[in-house]
Amino acid sequence: MDIVLSGIRPTGNLHLGNYFGALRNFVKIQSSYDCYFFIADLHSLTTHPHPTDFHANVKNILAEYLAAGLDPDKCALFIQSDVPEVSELFVLLNMLAYKGELERTAAFKDKVRKNSDNVNAGLLTYPVLMASDILIQRANWVPVGKDQDQHLEMARVYAKRFNNFYGVEVFPEPRAMDFGGGSLKVPGLDGSGKMGKSEGNGIFLIDDEKTITKKVMRAVTDNGPQAPDSEKPEVIQNLFTLLELVSTADTVQYFDQKWKDCSIRYGDLKKQLATDICKLTLPIRGRIMEISKDDAYLGKVVREGAEKARANASITLKAAKKAIGFRSL
């Protein structure tokens, strides 16, 4: 059975973009692949989170994963730092990673531009750690967004480089998994760009009904269609994209016709959108609240997930160290 691996940094609660872009699909494939889903706590250290927030965010993401439908009996759910083999492989791969190629990555250059006062070594070697996450589990498939394509390509580079340098076939070359429909972009409520954790334009799975309704009613719109059958501007198409994700086809068709004949009322559109988002997320929210209270269950899930992840990772690390020449005296 092919191995699928994906991780998420614990930098805030999961939003609709995370759900429709990734999590919903993880739930669908967890019975068909050997799945490893992890919380990338080591990756989040590049932004120096407060220790209290650091722990709470890890716990929140785990509860949200479980509430959204990931089943620990069908997939391995674990915390990155609970698998020390990742960090050891990270050290080994760093010996085959070069400063110039790391400095040329789009993500690193973007981080330098946005946070010039926090250009730490973790940011520079981020792709190597990501490669270690992937290669230590010998993943065949990695669900990634467009912003991570280059990092996945570098994981393939390091896999080939290691195999060629030592004349072995320790690491398979991971491929991108797009779930058959390309990378889904879930728009934010601010009129441009995709939904994000820090952009202030997101609806989170933990949001209550009042919060969701307030956010949607504040969503950016325009003055309405100026002519029949006109093209929707981005700010309006964003709302329709969200509507297509959470509402019935009949509902989407109804408001699309209202747009075409210039009779659309944005207030009605937003109320319907808020109602349908709540139908989706409020049951998940209820499960999040319940699961978050059960520390014993959360601990059991990540311990068992780490045991499976470490068992698989130890096989990889043993083979890699043997290829390099490590021997016991």
Known catalytic residues are 111, 194, 197
CB atoms inside a 10 Å sphere around CB 272: 18
Q: Tell me the torsion sign for CA atoms 250, 252, 257, 258.
A: positive
DSSP-assigned states of every residue in 19-49: IIIIIHHHHHHTTTSEEEEEE-HHHHGGG--
Instruction: Kindly list the distances between the CA atom of residue 154 and the CA atoms of 106, 150, 158, in Å, as whole numbers in the listed order.
Output: 12, 6, 6
Q: Is 8 helix (H, G, I), strand (E, B) or coil?
A: strand
CB atoms inside a 10 Å sphere around CB 267: 10
Instruction: Kindly list the distances between the CA atom of residue 29 and the CA atoms of 87, 178, 179, 232, 307, in Å, as whole numbers in the listed order.
Output: 28, 12, 9, 34, 21
Q: Is 187 helix (H, G, I), strand (E, B) or coil?
A: strand
In sequence order, the 6+-apart residues with CB closer than 8 A to the CB of 156 are 173, 174
The residue count of the chain comes to: 329
Amino acid at 272: Q
